[in-house]
Structure 1
Amino acid sequence: MDRTHGSGGKFTQAAERAADSKGFERAARVGYVASGVLHALIGIIAFQIASGGGGNADSSGAVAALSQQPGGIFLIWFCFVGCIALALFQASRAFLDRGGDKKEVWKKRATDAGTAIAYGAIGVTFGIFALGGSSDSEQSQVTWTARLLSQPTGQLLVGVGGAVIAGIGLYFIYKGLTQKFREDLGPIPGQTWQRTATVTGIGGYTAKGISLLILGGLVIAAAVTADPEKSTGLDGALRTLNEAPLGWLALGAVGVGLIFYGLYMGLIRARFGKL
């Protein structure tokens, strides 16, 4: 009887841990929804700029626009909780990754840690506005660039940072055009969901990559000229694109692509993504 009771207790504990894990995973998936909302809003603002309107097409501008909508504060809190849950989930994965080829393990750890940092940063932006504050992503980037440039090897550090951002942008474009994003997804049922994943994935990753590529170029320009004002963040990158010949058309296309990326993250990755 004791043994049976002990075995049953262990089974109950295992079931409870599994339930807790599933609950944490569901909370973490909300982080993808939050990312989707953020990118869709940035895409809408970019499209407005291309059409001659105004707005701040970066994370702080998007969340500020959301905070002004009816019920927006509740969605901001929802996104904040989701981003922090996803950041904690990925951070725990970075510590738990082990076994197999060491090179692959460290690659996975780096990816999980990077994802945790990225969603943690997005969560901080949502959190600032949820608590009634505000932030300026562009000014923050200019400030940090200026601090780095004031260091003895500052120009080199800023240049390397810009090259990394541009490299990530190129990878996003590659990931979109080759549909490598499907590796992040589990089985997707039905032709409608399959087509939605294809269209939003290709368009979204390509647009996100283009915006990061331009952003990296601006950071490199800031390093070369030792002028932190050239490192103007995502809003500055999109406005730079708008100033090019037929830039309004290119920016409009990127804006639509960022909306696609938001739909991919919020609908496809959140529902079918591997965790």
Structure 2
Amino acid sequence: MADINRSKASSTDSSSASYDNSSSTAGRVAQNSVFERFARAGFVVSGIVHLIIGYIAIRIALGGAGGTADQSGAMTELAAQPGGIVALWVGVVAFGLMALWRLAEAALGSSSKPDADSKTSEAINRVKAFSLAVVYFAFAFSAFGFARGRGKSSSDETAGLTARLMQTTAGTIALVAGGLIIIAIGGYHIYKGARQNFLDDLEGATSDLVRRLGIIGYIAKGLAITAIGLLVILAATQSEPNKAAGLDGAFKTLGAQPYGVALLVVAGLGIVTYGLYSFAMARYARM
């Protein structure tokens, strides 16, 4: 019995050592000074993009000049500003490095959360890290296109993809499943903001201002993501692919409702708040 216990202990120690080694490897990747600076710059670029999206949404609500209230619209406006192309190229590198950081966490484990209390929570953390890596790679690819002057409307691309998938039953089912996943992601953002779980992603003492920005920002972004998922499902079930127009479609649908102007202004301000919180992430994020 003693031998069995020693064997189990040895196995546990070996597993723990393996996890510690993986976690320390992830830590060395994330804490490389050049890597970390560019990755943190990604939060700044993300903040700028969210500020512009929120501004476009408010501008649409108030009857100003049009625009696309989503990532592609924000990058279009950024590219038109002095120094905007340079900022987009910085974004390409920054988003790319953020994606690699999350990919390292997915493969090796998180260096900022080495105390995962179970294999299940560790697996969940790795799945979340991989999902974020995909998102950041998509941001980097989009920024690359706009930096080269060849950016495309994400709303048009989403509607086009939806139309192609709706041509088959399997594609329609996939769209509904995708919409449900998007709604779940939105719900997670709302939960994270309401429960203030985002504070676990930060290091050092944070102010009440940062906490409030995080609460409002995560809830606002979660509601926007949830609306996107609902529109995808509606587009699939009603055979109207143009309804699946991403964030821009969600904002414009919101604006068409009773009291839509007020609702759209509030939604825009919420996205702006998330942008401001992204600047705090550039300073306080655990890496």
Tell me, yes or no, whether TM beats 0.5.
yes
Distance 2:215 2:174 in 1: 32
Alpha-carbon spacing, 1:41–1:18, altered in 2? closer, same or farther (3 Å): closer
- The separation in 1 between residues aligned to 2:108 and 2:49, in whole angstroms, is 29
SS at match of 1:153: helix
User: Are the aligned partners of 2:42 and 2:91 in contact in 1 as well (CA < 8 Å)?
Assistant: yes
- The verdict on how the C-alpha distance between 1:18 and 1:164 changes in structure 2, with shifts beyond 3 A counting, is closer
- Compare 68-77 and 146-155 and name the one that shifted more: 146-155
The aligned runs of 1:15-30 (5 Å cut-off) are: 21-30=32-41
* Cα displacement string for residues 171-228 of structure 1 (whole angstroms, at most 9, x for unaligned residues): 2122222222111111125xxxx12212211221111111111111100101211321
Map of 1:10 onto structure 2: none
CA–CA distance in structure 1, aligned partners of residues 284 and 159 of structure 2: 37
2:195 matches 1:178? yes
- 1:33 is aligned to 44
Give the deviation of 1:61 after TM superposition. 0.5
CA offset at residue 19 of structure 1?
Answer: 10
Task: For residues 109-166 of structure 1, give each alpha carbon's deviation from its aligned partner in whole angstroms, at most 9, with x where no partner exists.
Answer: 1111001001111111111011121211011101111222223312211011111111
TM-score norm. by structure 2 comes to 0.84
Alignment RMSD (CA, Å) = 2.0
Cα 1:20–1:255 shift into 2, 3 Å: closer
What stretches of structure 1 move > 4 A for 4+ residues in a row?
Answer: 17-20
Aligned-pair CA distance for 1:18 = 8.1
Find 1:195's aligned residue among 204, 208, 214: 208
Shifted more, 99-108 versus 164-173: the winner is 99-108
Match of 1:228 in 2: 241
The letter of the residue matching 1:163 is: L
Q: Residues 1-275 of structure 1 correspond to what in structure 2 (within 5 A)?
A: 21-53=32-64, 54-97=66-109, 101-188=118-205, 194-266=207-279, 268-275=280-287
1:20-44 deviation per Cα after TM superposition (whole angstroms, max 9, x unaligned): 7232122211111121111111001
User: Could you list the runs of 5+ residues in structure 1 that have no partner in the other structure?
Assistant: 1-16
Q: TM-score, normalised by structure 1?
A: 0.87
Aligned length: 255
91-100 or 220-229, which deviates more: 91-100
User: In the alignment, is the contact (CA less than 8 A) between 1:155 and 1:226 conserved in 2?
Assistant: no
Deviates further, 164-173 or 241-250: 164-173
Structure 2 CA distance for aligned equivalents of residues 87 and 19 of structure 1:
11
Which AA in structure 2 matches 1:36? G
